[in-house]
Structure 1
Amino acid sequence: MVEKRFLKEVMNISIPVALQSMLQSSFSMIDQVMVGQLGDQSVAAVEIASKPGFIYAFLISAISTITAIMTSQYIGKNNREAEEKTLCINLLVMFIVGSCFLLAFSIFRDSFISLFSNDHPVEQRGIQYLQVIVLTFIPLGICNILSVPLRCHNHSMWPLYIGIFTALVNTFFNFCLIFGHFGAPALGVQGAAIASVISQMVGAFLTLVCVYKLYGRINISLGLDREGYQQYFKMLLPVAFSECLWAVGQSVNTYVYGHMGTNELAGMSLTGAIQGLTIGALSGLAQAAGILTGKRLGRNEYDEAYSESIRICVFGFIGSVVLSLMIVLLRSSYVGVFQVSASAKSIGEKILLVFAFLMPAKVLNMILGGGVIRSGGKTKYIMMIDILGTWFIGVPLAVFTGLFLKLSIVWVYLILSQEEMVRLLLTAYMFRSRKWMNTIS
């Protein structure tokens, strides 16, 4: 009976989250296929111009993680007042971060794009895309932060329905604005950015409506005491710092790929959507692990939290192996959809093979590091592991093998990705030590 209840709780959280993530990735794939009809340069331009949003998304993910830690534990304690304060504080932090990103990449967009490519058409299209896509930052943050309490209160289907609708909106406006259908102007990559802005604003509005339906009127308050704010920033800063450094590290990798050639960058770009789709299929397990473990820790049920975390990891490992085999079998069909050069297609196909090999380690790192260990609020442990993996292993290997040894991009990707193996060893050791277990006040 207990086992059935646990499985039901995992499914109720993980399946809607996974479906929403897969949905977003599948429509990103549609975006990529649409932009891919414009050629290698357009694909490469969008890959570069998406990097600020990529970094921002990971910072928002960090704030969402803290929102989930605090909300799930306060639900376990039945403390509605603290729950509402948590929501208000994290929304404020998101607005500050989003505004800073919007301002910075509006002012310095030309300089930023020129860092990654010397190909003039790529630079021009990247600038066109970036000057519009920055407007998605605030609505994206609203959707991410406010979806957390919906999931914590067992309404995971609401964000999923919103995701379905906004993805359809995005695809429709992509079709209109990229190619000029239904009387709309053909704006190319800039049209794709405008479609993203429209869909994110629609998603933010619908999420606000759902939160109002859940809570009614929220008591707007930032009134934590000094100890409360200290505890909050002790949790937030390590997560935000590690997520930001990881995302910047990935941008350094893109810098390396971009200076290896436009074909290489385009080939790598082709794999982004399928990587997001498959990882997204199991991302719900990380959310479920964080929320359910947080509730257990809020009730001081440490042994149950530990044993349930192990079971979720087993689910993740099995799922990752199945999806890896599917990638291996379907990789040629996937890259064949894109209207890019044969060289870019060949590179994309080989990179997908490497990704399939590494996927189980990536998924376990996501569940343990992104969900379980952070649920106790001891976020500095994962920060240290992430910094070590990204900046002492991944980035140096990318620069050395790509810019100095000038190996092929497939070998560069394989070698730098060994950071996942190192990260998994360290994360597993930390998990077994149980030092991460903590109940926040």
Structure 2
Amino acid sequence: MDKEFKKKLTDIALPITVQTLMHSSLSLIDQIMIGSLGSACIAGIGLAGKFTSLFSVTVSAIVAAAGILISQYVGAKNERGVRDSFYLPLYFSLIFVVGFTLASLFAPNQIMAFYADDSETISKAALYLRWRAAGYFPEILTMFVSTLLRNMNRAKLPAVAGVVAIITNTLLNWLLIFGIGPLPRMEESGAAIATVLSHVIEMLIVVALFIREKKKQNLFLHPALTFSREFVKNAAFILAPILVGEFLWSLGENMYAVIYGHLGTEPCAAMTLMYPIQGIAIGALCGVSSASGIIVGNSLGANDEKKAWSQAIDFVRLTVTAGIIIGLIVCLLSPLYVKLFNVAPETRAVTVKILAAFAFVFTAKVFNMVIGGGVLQSGGQTKFMTAVNIIGTWGAGVPLGFATAYFFKLPIWWVYFFLSLEEFVRVGISIWLLKSRRWMKNVAV
């Protein structure tokens, strides 16, 4: 790695990583709070979170496509391209905001009945989902503005907003879940309201910081209402595959949640306890993933393929090394981690086994996140990664999950392990694509 690469990586990745780790760490505190409410509440909020993640991942796909375009137009110093790359995907994402908001408000029980059999779990999940609906719009606006700021070399600004929102969310969780002082005890409703309010606060801070930064950099970025046919075609070429791929991947993750939910409340609760440590482990390389797309995308936008290839290889080395180290740490610390929760010893034992399976597949997971989700998509050739996601999730993960859970009736940790083998399928295809160099395209033309 040369000095320029290291500086760019640090400037972009470090703030995002700190923000993500802060979020994951405080999510752990949230989970400990929720854990005191019983297994049904743990499982219910965990399953409702899977449905909301379908929205987040789908919109994140749109944001990712916008980021690919913005990074290359920034590299090409094309301000109109940057403007159009921001507004067109933002308008499109509003369709999903409306759809998910209406579904969460008017059909939460029907939605959550698909995920679980236990009536108490369904009731708690539906109540959480109804309150959570108000946070969809603030969430997407924050994503878009944060992506623009990172491409303006101001990655620290959304990180600051994120940290404030995370701390606020944790404090509000404590106040609203347990009813501290004059506030009523709201349990799962309190957790949802705290999340929504933190999203609103984060949005307000990010937008305010962007307005200030826009003036400093003399960037106009007036709202765009019309777009050239060529730009729309180019954007659709990039957006459509990544949107379909990420939606189907997230839908597959929701099918995994359906499998866990129907295995019983306690096994589902154990899976939910695994998510915070998974978030912390993956969060450690989340910034690297974002940086990989921006850094390699800038080089491709400047028509420097040699530099882009060298940067891609650096990201491979960094990801594999870090993945192995973090996976070992998770495996070693898992017996201590489960002692943080006020749950039955059996639930703790199951969680440790699930975390051991997670540690085994962790390097493959983060390789797919950084190389598949960042490097290989930086050239706009998102149709390749769409195929990879579909093959991995629906060709391997979902069939293996249903077979091991319902045909072979294996315990939940084995179910998780076998369905997670789809990560290695995706790794194999991604390595082949990386070596082919077909992904190295300049779309800022």
Same fold judged by TM-score > 0.5?
A: yes
For the 8 Å contact 1:55–1:247, the answer to whether it is kept is yes
Q: Distance in 2 between matches of 1:398 and 1:328?
A: 22
- The alignment's C-alpha RMSD in Å is 1.1
Number of the residue aligned with 2:419: 416
Instruction: Measure the CA separation in 2 of the matches of 1:222 and 1:342.
Output: 58
Taking a change above 3 Å as real, the CA distance of residues 432 and 222 of structure 1, as seen in their structure-2 partners, is farther
Does 2:337 correspond to 1:338? no
Q: Secondary structure at the match of 1:242?
A: helix
How far, CA to CA, are the matches of 1:341 and 1:41 in structure 2? 13
Q: Deviations over 1:3-28 (max 9, x none)?
A: 11111111111111111111111121
Contact 1:76 1:295 (C-alpha < 8 Å) held by counterparts: yes
Alignment partners' CA distance in 1, 2:75 and 2:119: 55
| Kept in 1: contact 2:315–2:371 (CA 8 A) | no
Which residue of structure 2 aligns with residue 250 of structure 1?
253
Tell me how far 1:92 sits from its aligned partner: 1.2
1:156-197 per-residue CA deviation (whole Å, 9 max, x = no partner) reads: 111111111111111111011000102110001110000001
The partner residue of 2:384 within 373, 381, 391 is: 381
Q: Indicate the larger mover: 419-428 or 324-333.
A: 324-333
**Cα shift at 1:105:** 2.4
Q: CA deviation at 1:119?
A: 1.4
1:178 aligns with 2:181: no
Structure 2 length-normalised TM? 0.97
Distance in 2 of aligned mates of 1:343 and 1:137:
36
Letter of the 2:179 partner, please give it.
G
How far apart, in 1, do the equivalents of 2:50 and 2:422 lie? 21
2:114 touches 2:258 (CA, 8 Å); kept in 1?
A: yes
| Contact 1:52–1:105 under 8 Å retained in 2 | no
| CA-CA distance at 1:214 after TM superposition | 2.2
Report the CA distance between 1:115 and its aligned residue. 1.4
Instruction: Give the distance between the partners of 2:261 and 2:241, measured in 1 at CA.
Output: 30
CA distance in 1 between partners of 2:61 and 2:48 (Å): 22
State how many pairs are aligned. 440
Counterpart CA distance in 2 for 1:131 and 1:395 is 28
Give, in whole Å, the separation in 1 of the partners of 2:340 and 2:439. Answer: 45
Unaligned runs of 5+ in 2: none
Matching residue of 1:290: 293
3-state SS in 2 of match to 1:336 = helix
Task: State the partner residue of 2:91.
Answer: 92
Q: Does 1:45 align with 2:48?
A: no
Once the two structures are overlaid, the 10-residue window that deviates more, 316-325 or 357-366, is: 316-325
Equivalent residue number for residue 55 of structure 1: 54
1:23 maps onto 2:25 in alignment: no
Q: Distance in 2 between matches of 1:403 and 1:342?
A: 25
Alignment of 1:367 onto 2:370: yes
Alignment of 1:242-321 (within 5 A): 242-321=245-324
Q: Show the counterpart of 1:228.
A: 231
Contact 1:85–1:222 (Cα < 8 Å) also in 2: no
Is 1:293–1:305's contact at 8 Å kept on the other side of the alignment? yes
1:87 Cα deviation (Å)? 1.2
Amino acid at match of 1:33: I
Greater Cα shift, 221-230 or 385-394: 221-230
Q: Does 1:35 align with 2:38?
A: no
Distance in structure 1 (CA, Å) of the matches to 2:50 and 2:306: 41
CA distance in 2, matches of 1:185, 1:349: 35
For the residues of structure 2 that align with 1:221 and 1:204, how far apart are their CA atoms? 21
Summarize deviations over 1:4-53 as a string: whole Å, max 9, x none: 11111111111111111111111211111110111111000001111221
How far, CA to CA, are the matches of 1:242 and 1:314 in structure 2?
A: 26
Specify every segment of 5 or more residues in structure 1 that has no aligned partner in the other structure, as ranges: none
The SS at the match of 1:223 is coil
In structure 2, C-alpha distance between the alignment counterparts of 1:143 and 1:48, rounded to whole Å:
24
Once the 2 structures are TM-superposed, how far is the Cα of residue 96 of structure 1 from its aligned partner? 2.1
- Aligned mates of 1:367, 1:222 — CA distance in 2: 34
AA matched with 1:84: R
Check if 1:219 corresponds to 2:218. no
| Deviation at residue 222 of structure 1 after TM alignment | 3.7
Could you tell me which amino acid in structure 2 is paired with residue 293 of structure 1? V
- Kept in 1, the 8 Å contact 2:108–2:127? The answer is no
Structure 1 length-normalised TM: 0.98
Deviating runs (4+, > 3 A) in structure 1? Answer: none
Give, as a single letter, the amino acid of the residue that structure 1 aligns with 2:115: F
Kindly, what percent of the aligned residue pairs are identical?
A: 33
Q: Does structure 1 conserve the Cα–Cα contact (< 8 Å) formed by 2:55 and 2:100?
A: yes
Whole-Å Cα distance in 2 between the matches of residues 357 and 415 of structure 1? 11
Find out whether 1:404 has 2:407 as its counterpart.
yes
Matches within 5 A, 1:59-74: 59-74=58-73
Deviation at 1:388, TM superposition (A): 0.3
